[in-house]
Every structure is written in structure tokens, then in C-alpha cells.
Structure 1
Amino acid sequence: MDLDPIIMIVVVGILIVILLSVFLSFFPIMLWISALASGVRIGIITLVAMRLRRVVPSRIVNPMIKATKAGLGLTINQLESHFLAGGNVDRVVNSLIAAQRANIPLLFERAAAIDLAGRDVLQAVQMSVNPRVIETPVVAAVASDGIEVKVKARVTVRANIDRLVGGAGEETIIARVGEGIVTTVGSSRSHKDVLENPDLISRTVLGKGLDAGTAFEILSIDIADVDVGKNIGAYLQTEQAEADKKIAQAKAEERRAMAVAQEQENKAKVVEMEARVVESESQVPLAMAEALRSGKLGVMDYLNMKNIESDTKMRSAIGETNPLQDEEEK
């Protein structure tokens, strides 16, 4: 059996498949037919040119079919330019369709700018139709009477499409609401006023215009939970009293140290004086000997002085004796 014709047929079939695959990769015939069937007028050469510009034709044609069916009046060049800029063409078209159905004025240029700014334009349109509830974390504030109040709020916001580009996000809304809660509670005379009228916080916060410069519009602020926390005033007073106590103790210790130093100094002076007295007393016998030699002091005078000293010592000894102790000993 001759296998050469069979091999030739197989080789030719493989070549035909390869050529057909290459042809279809550059000439998306099925995509072109789908576009024509949907009413999108686009040439096959345009699709080939997209391949050469490194643009995936399906990412342009499929959103264009949806836009044409929705009657948006977009062009291929608009979608392709947005794709080349790094945007999400399908999401932009979906947002335009959703805005049209919700009767929200939204142009392609604005939707493309919002998408290129990194925001989800479709989610923004959905938030314009269905407002979103943002729950703040627990905000602790202290009333004028020193009692801590913990507040948790729910903020209902709606996306403001005109301010999505350059507008602040949810974090700014939460921070501003927290600031408003702290201000309102801090200006209250008593924590009981906040507990009795929690809507006071909502009215005060809404009146401050917290959504200015943000990508959202605040519809309402509802207080979800209000709890009483610690007695911050008493705690601060206790801390102040403890600090005053430590200061007083430090000053007392300083005065004690100064008294001890003064006492040591006085003892040193007494010792010095005693030393001088001893030194002076040691000079007395020398002076008396000199007086005897010079004749200024006689022998009888010296003996009389000795008698007086003995009498003085005897009287001192008698005076130091305790009579009560003598009676007990008897």
C-alpha cells in the first residue's frame, strides 16, 4: 500500500488548519458577523487594524454591541481610545446603560474620566440609585460633666457623580462624622442630655455640611447605639491628686534632707567648738605655771582655787543623784 498520498493529504490538512487559524486570528470573521447582525457598522479592516494596534477586538466590539442596542450613540474610536488609555470599556458602557435606565445624566467623557481616576463608575451609578449605608466605628467623647459617651452611627450616603473625580472617599465621611460627634457630645452640659436626645447629634452633624468636597451626598445620620463609658473627670481628678501627692512627698523629702544636712552641719560646729574648748583648757595649766613663776599667782591662791574646784565637783555629783532612785534602792 502506497502511503505517500495519505501523508501528503495529512500535511496539506495541517497546513490548511494553520493558515486558517492565522487568518482568523487577524481576521475575526465571527466577531465581524456578530457586529453586523447587531447593527454595528464596522469593517473587517478596522478589526485587523485593532490587532495591529494591540487592541483585543472583542473588548471593543462586544461593549459596542451593548451600547448600540441601548441607543447610547457611541463610536468605535471612543471605546478604543478609552481602552488604549487603560480604562475598562465594558464597565463604562454598563454604567452608561444603568445611568440611562435610571434617568441620570451621565456622558461618556465623564464616565471615562471617573473610570480612569480609579473609581468604580458602575458602583457609583448604582449608589446614586440605591444609597449606601456606612457604619462608623464606636466614637468615644466626653461631655462637660466628665462622663464618657460612646456613640455608633449609621450614615446613609448617595454618590455624587459630578464630584467623583477629585472628591474625597468614605474615610473622609467617617472622619468628619466622628469629629461632629465629639464636638456635639463635648459641648453638652451633661451626658444625660445626649442619652435623652440622641437626635441632637444627628441634627448638629448634618448642619455642619460634612459632605462638602467629597464624592458623596449625606442623606441622613442615624445614631445606632449610645453607651455610657468611664467617668473621665473623676479619673483625671484622681490622677491630678496622685500627682499633687507625689509633688508634696518630693518637697517634704527635700525639706527633710535639708534638715538632716543642717543638723549635721550644727553637729560639726559643736564638735569644732568642743575641740576649741579642750584646746583652751589645755592652755590653763601652762598659764598657771607661768603665773606662779612670774609671781602673779601665790601658792595660797592656787590652793584656794583647788579647794573651790573640789567643792564644785562635789556639789555637781550631789546634784546629779536622783532622790527617787535612792528611795527605790532603800
Structure 2
Amino acid sequence: MTMNAISIAATPLAQQTPTGYILLALGVFAAFLGLILVFFFFRYFKLWFQAYMSVADVSLVSLIRMHFTKVNPNIVVQAKVMSAQAGLNTSRRDGVSTRRLEAHYLAGGNVMNVIHAIIAAHRAEIPLEFDQAAAIDLAGRDVLDAVQTSVYPKVIDCPDSSRSGKTTLSAITKNGIELRVRTRVTVRTNISQLIGGATEDTIVARVGEAIISSIGSASSHFDVLENPDMITKVVLSRGLDAQTAFEIVSIDIADIDVGENIGARLQSDQAEADTRVARAEAESRRAEAIAEEQQMKARVTDNRSALVLAEAEVPMAMAEAFKAGRIASITDIEG
């Protein structure tokens, strides 16, 4: 503090000039700013020193900025340290920079999961940039699980009993024999199509459809039982993993069981249906014959009544003839 400032401070308040007030205000502001810097220095010195010793390129100004932008500096520093120690590109222009980590944190992403995924992909020599991994994470996919599946493929049961409730696929060959098939599909993640690609359900549905189609094209169930690999070859040749987030590694037939003779059962059902139709037609003709018989009986009854009426008119006609003299009795003829 200079002699002028000391003399101004020692001067009574009422005798100070406007310049003295300004200098006093600046001194108070500088002291307050110094206290703030000291506070942040002691609060974030440990994190800054950790980043400095790890060559993680995290400045103290960045740590102070994270305090005001509500970013957890512990996560960002830990992510930068892990990236630097793993040999990732941490440059501020095109690498895993502090700004990118802060932006991903503020967007609601899982920063540590993304860094773990990038490190795992880097170790496995799988190309995965930070922007791509962050986009996958923000899209709701587990980017670390995707990388792990790409390195270590997983097996999907077809059909999946936990989702469909069925344990086997039912298909019928051309000779009418039902085959119940259970397959296992080995897939690995296709990271380049993970965003917008179809999920496991699509893979299971496509594989199931292809298996049923290939079995249905077989002339006999003996051909399928003899060479079950013919199904897998046909299915693999169709490119069922197109536009999906996975790449099919292999399709293996786990089990094949012979079911019912669907063809014979269908023929039996058809014969029974034909029999029922014939019986219905015969019953219809019988009903028509009975109806016609009843009509004939009604006509006979009508004719008989007409005959009775005619016979009743004969005596009346004879009596009238006697009265008119058109008919004479035997006594009159003899006399």
C-alpha cells in the first residue's frame, strides 16, 4: 500500500476526496476478489494438481467455470485423467477435451460410461470417436455394453422364451411332417449402425422367418434331419443383419424334434369335412324327397275329396232325371 493510500485511509472520512472513495472501493473490491480466488484455489487445487500431474490439460479456470455451470468437476477431471493415462487424444480441437466433457455432462449423458467405452474400444483397436460414443449414449443405448458385445459376441436364443413364451420354432416340410427347431444366434455389435439400427427383436424375427421358410422348402423332413446345416447356410446367405445394430457371426441348430404328421392330419380333417358335406347334401335331398311325398299325399287327398263330391252329385242328378221324365222305371217300361 502506498503512502498516499495510507494517508487517505488515515484521513477522517469527512475529509476524504472523491478520489479517495474510489481508491477505497477498488481496494475493497480487490480484497474481495482475492478472497474468492483464494477460496477457489484451495477448493480445487487438489483436482487441478491431479490433472496437472497426469497431463490431463485441465486448467484452474475450467474448474472455476464448472462450479458456476453446475458441472461436477470430479467426474470431468477423472474422465480426463483416465483418457490421458489410456493414451487417448485429449487435444482441445478434436480430442476428448474438457469442453466436450462438460457439454456431454450438461446434456444429461453418462460421461464415465462413454470414457470407459472409448478406452475399451481403443484397447481392442475398434474405431470409436468421442462424438460418436456421446451420440450413442444420448440416444439411450449403452455404449459400453455395445463395445463389450463387439469384442465378446453374445448368444441370442431363437425363439426367446422370455419374450415370446415359446421354446421352439414350428415348421412343416413338403411331406407334411412338423419339425420343432431351437436355434442360437451369435451376434456382435455393429457400432457404425448402432444409431438407428434395429434391435435384437428384429434379428430374432428375421432368423425365425428364414428358418421356417428354409424348412418349408425342404422336400422331406429326412433331408433336414440328415443335414441340419443346410438351414444355417441358407439363413446366413440372406443377409438378415442388414440395417440392424448387430452383425450375425453364426447360426447354430441347438435341437430338432419331429412333431406331428400335419399332412396326414390335414387330409383326415379334409376327408371328415367332405363326409360332413356329403351327409348334409344327402340329408337335404332326403328332406326334399319327404317334402315331395307329403305334397303327393296332399294331392291324393284332394283328388279323393273331389271324387267324393262327384259321387255325392250322382244321386241328385238321377233324382232330377226321374222328376223330369228323362229316366223311366222298370215297371213303367213293362206296362
TM score, norm. by length of structure 2: 0.78
Tell me the CA shift for residue 36 of structure 1: 3.2
Equivalent in 100, 103, 107 of residue 78 of structure 1:
100
Distance in 2 (alpha carbons) for counterparts of 1:56 and 1:292: 140
Amino acid at match of 2:203: I
Residue 301 to residue 139, structure 1, CA distance change in 2 (3 Å): farther
Check the 8 A contact 1:92/1:115 in 2, yes or no. yes
Q: How many residues align?
A: 281
Tell me the CA shift for residue 125 of structure 1: 1.2
Tell me the CA shift for residue 241 of structure 1: 1.6
**Structure 1: runs of 5 or more not aligned:** 1-22, 303-330
Residue 173 to residue 284, structure 1, CA distance change in 2 (3 Å): same
Aligned to 1:326: none
Distance in 1 (alpha carbons) for counterparts of 2:125 and 2:331: 138
Q: Secondary structure at the match of 2:70?
A: coil
Q: Deviations over 1:140-187 (max 9, x none)?
A: 100000000111111111211111111111111111111111111101
Tell me the CA shift for residue 254 of structure 1: 1.6
Distance in 2 (alpha carbons) for counterparts of 1:125 and 1:236: 50
Distance in 2 (alpha carbons) for counterparts of 1:221 and 1:92: 31
Check the 8 A contact 1:136/1:152 in 2, yes or no. yes
Aligned to 2:244: 214
Distance in 1 (alpha carbons) for counterparts of 2:270 and 2:277: 10
Aligned to 1:11: none
Question: Is 1:67 aligned with 2:97?
Answer: no
* Bigger mean CA offset, 249-258 vs 184-193: 249-258
Distance in 1 (alpha carbons) for counterparts of 2:135 and 2:330: 132
Q: Secondary structure at the match of 2:307?
A: helix
Question: Is 1:163 aligned with 2:165?
Answer: no
Equivalent in 221, 231, 254 of residue 224 of structure 1:
254
Tell me the CA shift for residue 27 of structure 1: 4.4
C-alpha RMSD of matched pairs (Å): 2.2
Check the 8 A contact 1:27/1:48 in 2, yes or no. no
Check the 8 A contact 1:27/1:47 in 2, yes or no. no
Tell me the CA shift for residue 223 of structure 1: 0.8
Distance in 2 (alpha carbons) for counterparts of 1:301 and 1:130: 137
Tell me the CA shift for residue 58 of structure 1: 2.1
Question: Is 1:111 aligned with 2:133?
Answer: yes
Aligned to 2:164: none
Distance in 2 (alpha carbons) for counterparts of 1:249 and 1:50: 88
Q: Deviations over 1:182-207 (max 9, x none)?
A: 11110111001000000100111111
Amino acid at match of 1:55: V
Question: Is 1:197 aligned with 2:227?
Answer: yes
Residue 292 to residue 164, structure 1, CA distance change in 2 (3 Å): same
Tell me the CA shift for residue 29 of structure 1: 4.6
Q: Secondary structure at the match of 1:189?
A: coil
Residue 283 to residue 48, structure 1, CA distance change in 2 (3 Å): same
Tell me the CA shift for residue 32 of structure 1: 3.5
Aligned to 2:152: 130
* Bigger mean CA offset, 82-91 vs 283-292: 82-91
Distance in 2 (alpha carbons) for counterparts of 1:71 and 1:293: 147
Amino acid at match of 1:257: A
Tell me the CA shift for residue 111 of structure 1: 1.0
Distance in 2 (alpha carbons) for counterparts of 1:214 and 1:157: 11
Aligned to 2:288: 258
Equivalent in 302, 317, 320 of residue 290 of structure 1:
320
Amino acid at match of 2:247: E
Tell me the CA shift for residue 39 of structure 1: 2.8
Residue 282 to residue 216, structure 1, CA distance change in 2 (3 Å): same
Aligned to 2:23: none
Q: Secondary structure at the match of 2:219?
A: coil
TM score, norm. by length of structure 1: 0.80
